[in-house]
Amino acid sequence: MNTDRPRLKQGAFQIYTGEGKGKSTASMGLMLRALGCGFTVYYLRLIKPRWKTGELAICSELHSNLTFRNVEQDWILSKSRHIPEHVAAMRTALAIEMDNLERIMVSQDYDLVIVDEINYCIHRDLIPVERAIRLVEKRPQNVELVFTGRYAPDSLIERAGVVTEMRKVKHHFDQGVTARRGIEF
């Protein structure tokens, strides 16, 4: 562990959840702030679509203090949850990711650890909530841990120091506007 860099004195566990747009985007804003202050960041995207998003195009090379990992998978958001083979494969892949993530977090090599879409994965029974709770409970005091995604379970909300709920007031998707490159992905 490099002791010459700035360190968080006190980390927290945060959740960004809700039906509104902006949960992952908010976590990326926090990522940028932390990087700008000299902190190290581990960003793990769990179940985002396979297409090339703007953040995938830039984050892997954005900053030397950033490790940006996208779980490679064949999960199709609208279909895979109904295909038992896809569910089983994703459960296996995410179990490995969670074990790796725990090792990374407790190493204290990172000041900020963001787990994008973990709440959704828990909701879909791809990651057991008990496994996520264990990760939270093993968080070192000087590590900031952020979970994003809809459907954050109450058992995680109870353990969080900060919970932000994005609430949809109005969204043009409801009028048939499709996701726009550079804005929604």
Q: 154: domain CATH number?
A: 3.40.50.300
Longest CA span, the chain: 52
Q: pLDDT, tens digit, for every residue of 98-151?
A: 999 999 999 999 999 999 999 999 999 999 999 999 999 999 999 999 999 999
pLDDT at residue 33 above 90? yes
Q: What is the domain range of residue 62?
A: 13-168
* Distance (Å, whole) CA 50 – CA 40: 26
Residue 32 falls within a domain, yes or no?
yes
In three-state secondary structure terms, 31 is: helix
Assigned domain for 119 exists: yes
Residue 40: inside a domain: yes
Tokens read off for 49: 């679509």
Tell whether 76 is covered by a domain. Answer: yes
How far is it, in rounded angstroms, from Cα 175 to Cα 125? 31
- Mean per-residue pLDDT of the chain: 92
Residues 34-50 have pLDDT tens digits of: 999 999 999 999 987 66
Q: Where is pLDDT greater, at 169 or 161?
A: 161
CA distance linking residue 23 with residue 103, whole number of Å: 25
Tell me, what DSSP letter sits at residue 45? E
Examine residue 184 and state whether it is found in any structural domain, yes or no: no
Q: Is the pTM of this model over 0.95?
A: no
Which tokens is 146 given? 């952020």
For the ranges 83-97, 128-142, 171-185, the lowest mean pLDDT is seen at 171-185
State percent of the chain over pLDDT 70.
96
Does residue 137 lie within any of the structural domains?
Answer: yes
DSSP characters for 16-51?
EESSSS-HHHHHHHHHHHHHHTT--EEEEE-S--SS
Overall domain count for the chain: 1
Q: Would residue 94 count as lying in a domain?
A: yes
pLDDT at 162 over 90: yes
Structure-token pair, residue 113? 């650890």
For residues 95 and 125, what is the distance between their CA atoms, to the nearest angstrom?
12
The pLDDT > 90 percentage for the chain reads: 69
E strands of the chain, at which residues?
13-17, 41-45, 66-70, 112-116, 144-148, 162-165
DSSP 8-state class, residue 17: E
Cβ-proximal residues to 185 (8 Å cutoff; 6+ apart), any chain: 49, 51, 53, 54, 179
Token digits of residue 123: 């909701």
Residue 83 lies in a domain: yes
Of 9-18, 97-106, 172-181, which range is least confident?
172-181
